[in-house]
Structure 1
Amino acid sequence: MKETSAGTQAAQIPKQRTEPLLDSAVRYAEERHWDVLPGTWLEAVDGVDRCSCGDRACLAPGAHPTRPDWTTAATGSAVAARALWSRQPRASILLPTGRTFDAIDVPETAGFLALARMERLDVTLGPVTCTPDRRMLFFVLPGAGAKVPDLVRRLGWAPSTIDLSVRGEGDYVAAPPTRFGGSGAVQWARRPTAVNRWLPDSDELAAPLAYACGQEVREARP
């Protein structure tokens, strides 16, 4: 039996006060010293949310960089962030990974299962996001991309067989309250606080996350 259902999972996300994208972007830069990058946004076209990039087949509508040199356009300055979002208040908030943090990306069901186990064991956790496409991203120290595949192998899984990946250098994540895909907004499952300012190493989270993803694989087998 699964430890959580979809309804229980939704209940585990605290109700959150929605604030403007500008205020959130400034706060991330000012309080967490995260680099922030304004991305695309959603626009209503014929009653349907479309990506501002204009591509009807966009793979990440409303939440991807607007320029190819986006890695150089991100800023860690709260003043610069305020100016950027003042020019385009609807721009999504993208956080480049591989700088102050990496993110371990897992399915929502596995993420909540692992989260419950880690909380029972008092494992140190950083911020965790829950996305509209039913993914959860666990923030960890940079360098996870080079370590996690080997950690997963040592746990007895081939990395290609479980739905677990790492967002590291050259990648990014969408931050709350960014909306994308027309199905809702990114939310904090565990929001940034003074308590989780110091991020865990991927070694601490890899085992429970891999186990939860592996359990999904086992349950999917006939």
Structure 2
Amino acid sequence: MSAWLRDETPLSPAQSDTDERRTGRADIFRFLRDREEGRNHAARVTAAGAGWLASAAAYPRSTLALWEARPTAPAVLPCGTVFDVVNVDTIFGRRMLDRLWSEGPGSGPVALHRGRMLLFAAPGTAQRLPSLLDWEEWDDAVPRPLCHGTGDAVTIPPLTVHEPAGARWVVAPDTRHPWLPGPEVMLWACVRAVRAASAADVRISIFPPADQDAKVYDVSRRR
């Protein structure tokens, strides 16, 4: 099972790759397993998820080593090879997630950072999605998504939540090879979210409080 929370903190490099090769895998994996023991892993980064995130960095082993030493430290990861990111207004992003999980194939990892929702997508999405969106008629009241791909970088949440009101995972990476939506799926979610926003009228700004239970979805539908 996996979940996206009705609410939703970041990573960087550390020790030398030589030291990590000597000790085998970074101890981050043991740290994560210990932390997750006896808990619902739904909205938590797993060891496999951490490995996937780190694979986007120039020095994955060093990134994992730093993450182990400072699990609440921020980090910046490049887009374009392992993943692209679709960056949207938080309210609009939650509408996209509602559509993706209730009517679509689900989503890849999703994070909140500084009032924006970051939806992780397949590499190449940032290049293709803007041209697909150009075919749609967008109301001025609907914020157009920002797309981050090759040459861009994003700040991602850490392995553990440091500040409840800060950046955090909505759908945490929980596998070494997560399913990621492509440009067509993201376009579909955007269009559905626009329609939902229009139908909802003033209710667009009403969401459950931060401490309400997470909404749970079956990740097997994302395969």
Match of residue 75 from structure 1: 59
Match of residue 138 from structure 2: 157
SS of 2:128's equivalent in the other structure is: helix
**Number of matched residues?**
166
Instruction: Name the aligned partner's letter for residue 12 of structure 1.
Output: R
Note the alpha carbon deviations across 1:140-181, whole angstroms, 9 max, x for none.
11112221112112222399x7331101111111111299xx
Aligned partner of 1:177 among 158, 162, 165: 158
In structure 2, list runs of 5 or more residues that go unmatched: 15-27, 33-44, 203-223
Report deviation, 1:87: 8.5
Aligned-residue CA RMSD in angstroms?
4.2
Contact 1:162 1:213 (8 Å CA) reproduced:
no
Contact 2:112 2:168 (8 Å CA) reproduced:
yes
TM-score in terms of structure 1 length: 0.58
SS of 1:105's equivalent in the other structure is: strand
Separation in structure 2 between the aligned mates of residue 11 and residue 83 of structure 1, nearest angstrom? 28
Note the alpha carbon deviations across 1:50-106, whole angstroms, 9 max, x for none.
xxxxxxxxxxxxxxxxxxxxxxxx322x2x224556898875211111111000000
1:196–1:158: structure 2 CA closer, same or farther, 3 Å change rule? Answer: farther
Aligned partner of 1:115 among 90, 97, 101: 97
Identity among equivalent positions (%) equals 25
The aligned runs of 1:45-124 (5 Å cut-off) are 74-76=58-60, 78=61, 80-84=62-66, 91-124=73-106
TM-score in terms of structure 2 length: 0.57
Separation in structure 1 between the aligned mates of residue 176 and residue 73 of structure 2, nearest angstrom? 29
Contact 1:152 1:158 (8 Å CA) reproduced:
no
Contact 2:87 2:148 (8 Å CA) reproduced:
yes
Match of residue 34 from structure 1: 55
1:102–1:19: structure 2 CA closer, same or farther, 3 Å change rule? Answer: closer
